[in-house]
Amino acid sequence: MPRAKIKGIGTSIPEKILSNYDLEKMVDTSNQWIVERTGIHQRRIVEPGTTTSDLATEATKNVLASTGTAATDVDLIVCATITPDMILPATACLVQDRIGAKHCWGFDLSIACSGFLYALQVGAQFIETGAHKNVIVLGVDVMSSIIDYTDRQTCIIFGDGGGAALLTPCQEDEEGGIIDFIHEVDGSGGQYLCLPGGGSKYPANHETVDGKMHYIHQEGKVVFKYATRKMPELCLKLLQRNGYTSDDVSLFVPHQANLRIISAAADRMNMPMERVLVNIDEYGNTTAGTLPLALDTALRKGRLKKGDLVLFAVVGAGLSAGAMLMRWA
Ligand SMILES: CC(C)(COP(=O)(O)OP(=O)(O)OC[C@H]1O[C@@H](n2cnc3c(N)ncnc32)[C@H](O)[C@@H]1OP(=O)(O)O)[C@@H](O)C(=O)NCCC(=O)NCCS
């Protein structure tokens, strides 16, 4: 079976910056508190009217252009998002139409901050079975559409943006690609990070709107504890069962939820911060968007080269978590 590799990354990053100083004028917070408690300095926010499919289409066009791939050669689009343009049709269908991918199927995948890594694994299965040659995996969110900008616990964390990866099979003589993964959910913690309104439980009505049920609600401390425990646990298990230790990892690419979560996870894994990709200061938590944005940062800064062992980790609503090991090809 051929291994699946990431052939390229394309991103879509909104121009508008929402800084901590802007937030100081909106809620009772301070730049110092946000930087010390989260590591975030600013985040990007879309202009009103810009949708997830706008960002996803741009990111997909960028990765197709940079890898010299025709849209008509795309077999499958898996779009990880919790902020689709609409409940239906799926955002993947909107992207398919807008890029002119005429021979392709697709669907959305909804598992919040774990979305991109889960979607990557789903896409990889179709490469490994030989069913497909070109799979677009998107991680994109317009979090500003579901954030209450009067809630200082959530509005300081999230930003908009994301990216697309093109998955293709490794050549026979090529060493690399996705090696292994461990994904895990714990639905008993669902209430700690949720958006209750607008589904079949609480269909949209005046009460759900007045009750702010269409915004993200979180118990920050519970999520924090789960994240700092689960990310290192899954990563160490994954490394061990593949015969590696943290010392073998060239780059650790964690979900960008909070710099303190990232540092605590790295610390528990004995991973020096020089080998950890951090860009939360620039973008905040873009939910499904953080990993493609992190890979883009790594590539632009020359921190990722052929042959590198890369370890990914995610954590998010569900509760959900995951880890993936990849040899960069
Ligand atoms: C949300 C989060 C940043 C809060 O940080 P924290 O250190 O846990 O802060 P606490 O909730 O203990 O609050 C400490 C104090 O700061 C206050 N506070 C909370 N948000 C604040 C803000 N934006 N500005 C200033 N003060 C704030 C609290 O009211 C509390 O005040 P009190 O001591 O007078 O009661 C942190 O819990 C977190 O990052 N959790 C994970 C969230 C996450 O990653 N979500 C996405 C999952 S992928």
Distance of CA 256 to the CA centre of its chain: 8
Q: Which two tokens stand for residue 278?
A: 């951090």
* Ordered domains of the chain (ranges, CATH): 4-169 (3.40.47.10), 177-327 (3.40.47.10)
- Report the alpha-carbon distance of residue 329 to residue 312 in Å, rounded: 15
Task: Give me ligand 1 centre to Cα 219, in Å.
Answer: 9
Task: Give me ligand 1 centre to Cα 17, in Å.
Answer: 22
Write down the pLDDT at residue 175: 86
Catalytic positions, written as ranges: 113, 255, 285
Write down the pLDDT at residue 173: 84
Task: Give me ligand 1 centre to Cα 200, in Å.
Answer: 30
- Report the alpha-carbon distance of residue 113 to residue 255 in Å, rounded: 7
Write down the pLDDT at residue 186: 97
Write down the pLDDT at residue 289: 98
pLDDT tens-digit series, residues 159-189: 999 999 999 999 888 889 999 999 999 999 9
Q: Which two tokens stand for residue 71?
A: 């849209």
Residue nearest to atom 12 of ligand 1 (CA): 221
Q: Are 170 and 180 in contact, with CB atoms under 8 Å apart?
A: no
Which atom from ligand 1 is nearest to the alpha carbon of 155? 23
Residue nearest to atom 25 of ligand 1 (CA): 29
Q: Is 189 in the pocket of ligand 1 (CB under 6 A)?
A: no
> Rounded to the nearest 5°, which phi and psi values hold at 291?
-70, -45
Q: Is 177 in the pocket of ligand 1 (CB under 6 A)?
A: no
Residue nearest to atom 40 of ligand 1 (CA): 220
Collect the ranges in the chain with pLDDT lower than 70.
Answer: none
